[in-house]
Amino acid sequence: MNAARYSTLGSMMLLSLTIAACGGTPSTENRDGTNPAKTAEAIPPKAASREVELRPGTIIAVRLERALSTVRNRAGDTFAASLDQPIVVDDIEVLPRGTRFSGHVTTSKASGRLEGRAVLGITLDAFDRKGHTYPITTSLDTKTTEAHKKRNIKVIGGGAGLGALIGGLAGGGKGVAIGAAVGAGAGTGAAAATGKKDIEVPAETLFRFSLKSAVTVPD
């Protein structure tokens, strides 16, 4: 009984001497030698993310990446554009120059040969930022050609009259009818060459749109 007691006391004294020799307290270091408490203190707290709002009325200036035309494009066709001027809010550059935008054709009406105007309308739908796509609603940009001039109709009338005259001199009454038809065709061709007006917007053309509703993006 006493031997066991002395043995326990001896073990406790040996443990105390060992702890004292090692610095007085058990080690709290990781296996790689780092102290978890000090490591935690060295890592700065993560800053809270901030959001920036693009307000309605913000002007978005973009350049087309490819040409658009009332001949080739139809309503619903999509197009790509890049931001020509950075968008800054409260001294923070929210969207840098070159930001990619996407949009679609809202209206595409080709010009008639002798009447009607060509109309091309486009709008923006979204932009890409840091791997995310943000839908937007913007104003429309519509281009319209000038109205056809009355001279086109005069060209047709003049062509038909001249053809009838030549046909009459060549073959009598039957020649008049044939000459009038040929002359009218020639007049129509001339009018089509000078009077049909379509819209062709080259690549790199600058467009300015106005944001219609607010968009919130992270800073």
Q: What pLDDT, in 10s, does the model give residues 29-59?
A: 566 666 655 555 556 665 556 889 999 999 9
pLDDT of residue 64: 98
Look up residue 141 and give its two tokens: 């940009």
69 touches 198 (CB < 8 A) = yes
Residues lower than pLDDT 50 in the chain: 6, 152-153, 155-170, 174-192, 194
d(CA 194, CA 202): 21
162 touches 181 (CB < 8 A) = no
> Which residue stretches of the chain are H helix?
2-21, 36-42, 151-195
Mean pLDDT score of the chain: 75
Closest CA to 143 of 176, 171, 105: 105
pLDDT of residue 50: 81
* Residues in Cβ contact with 208 at an 8 Å cutoff, skipping those fewer than 6 apart: 59, 60, 61, 141
Per CATH, the number for 51-148+197-218 is 2.40.128.260
d(CA 103, CA 121): 11
DSSP, collapsed to helix, strand or coil, labels residue 218 as strand
Q: Which residues of 172-206 are buried (b: 16+ CB within 10 A; e: fewer)?
A: eeebbebbbebbbebbbeebeeebbbebebeeeee
Task: Please count the other Cβ atoms lying within 10 Å of the Cβ belonging to residue 89.
Answer: 15
d(CA 16, CA 51): 58
In DSSP terms, 206 is beta-bridged to 63
- Between the CA of residue 190 and those of 153, 186, 187, 196, what are the distances in Å? 10, 6, 5, 10
